[in-house]
Amino acid sequence: MLLIDCPYCGPRAEIEFAYGGEAHIARPAADVSEAEWSAFLYLRDNTKGVLAERWRHSHGCGRFFNALRDTRTDQFHAFYEIGMPRPDVRDAV
């Protein structure tokens, strides 16, 4: 069980959180092309390495936030608020 550091509540066990998929996927305006909208819906990077992803502290404060997690090791490198830019973390492993 992961240990997740909610930016609002501090470190809590994974069981308190809900996963929210890849972060920084901007929802396009409604007038984009079919290809752009389909990419928004379905295309993800499937990162092997450091992935920016969304979590929600659903059984705590209820807030969404972003995290950088290495998908190879499950190690977190950063937790940050929605709307903040992705921190500059290189693939460490």
Partner 1 sequence: MSGAFRLAGRGCIDTTRPVVFRFDGRMVRGYAGDTVASALLAEGRHLMGRSFKYHRPRGPVSAGSDEPNALIGVGEGGRYTPNLRATQVEIHDGMVAVSQNRAPSLRFDIGALNTLAAPLLPAGFYYKTFMWPRRFWDKVYEPLIRRAAGLGRAPTAPDPDHYALHYAHCDVLVVGGGPAGLAAALAAGQVGARVILCDENAEFGGSLLADTYSLIDGLACGEWVARIVAELERLPNVQLLTRCSAFHYGPHNMVALNQRLSDHLATPPADMPRERIWQVRACEVVLAAGALERALVFEGNDRPGIMLASAARAYLHRYGVACGRKAVVVTADDAAYRVALDLAEAGVKIAAIADLRPTPGGPLVEAARARGIEVLPATTIQRAHGHLRVTGAELAPVGADGTVGKGWRVSCDLVLMSGGFTPSLHLHSQARGALRFDDALGVYLPGESIERVRSAGSCRGVFALDDVLRDGVAAGLAAAGGEIGPAWTVMRQDAPGTGGFAGALPRRGPGHLALAFVDFQNDVTAKDVKLAVREGFRSIEHVKRYTTTGMATDQGKGSNVNALAIVSNVLGRRPEEIGLTTYRPPYTPVTFGAFAGHARGDQFDPLRLPPMDAWARAQGAVFEDVGPWRRARYFPRAGEDMAVAVARECRAVRAVAGIFDASTLGKIEVAGPDAAEFMNRFYVNAWTKLGVGKCRYGLVCRDSGFVYDDGVVGRIAADRFHVTTTTGGAAGVLNMMEDYLQTEWPDLDVWLTSITEQWAVIALQGPRARDILAPLVDGLDISAGAMPHMTLREGTIGGVPMRLFRVSFTGELGYEINVPSSQAQAVWDRVWEAGAAFGVTPYGTEAMHVLRAEKGYLIVGQETDGTMTPGDVGCSWAVSKVKPDFIGKRALALPALNAPDRLQMVGVLTEDPRLVLEEGMQLVPAADSPVPTSAEGHVTSSYFSPALDRSIAIAMVKGGRARMGTSLYAPSLDGSAVKVMLVDPVFYDPEGARLNG
Cβ contact 64:20 at 8 Å = yes
Q: Interface with Zn ion includes 61 (CB under 5 A)?
A: yes
User: Any idea which residue has 């007038």 for tokens?
Assistant: 31
Q: Number of residues interacting with partner 1: please give it, by CB under 8 A.
A: 29
d(CA 5, CA 8): 8
Q: How far is the CB of 65 from Zn ion (least distance, A)?
A: 8
Cβ contact 67:82 at 8 Å = no
Q: Tell me which residues in 32-61 interact with partner 1 (CB under 8 A).
A: 32, 34, 37-38, 40-41, 54, 56, 58
Pick what 8 binds: Zn ion, partner 1, none; C-beta below 5 to 8 Å, kind-dependent.
Answer: Zn ion
Q: Interface with partner 1 includes 30 (CB under 8 A)?
A: yes
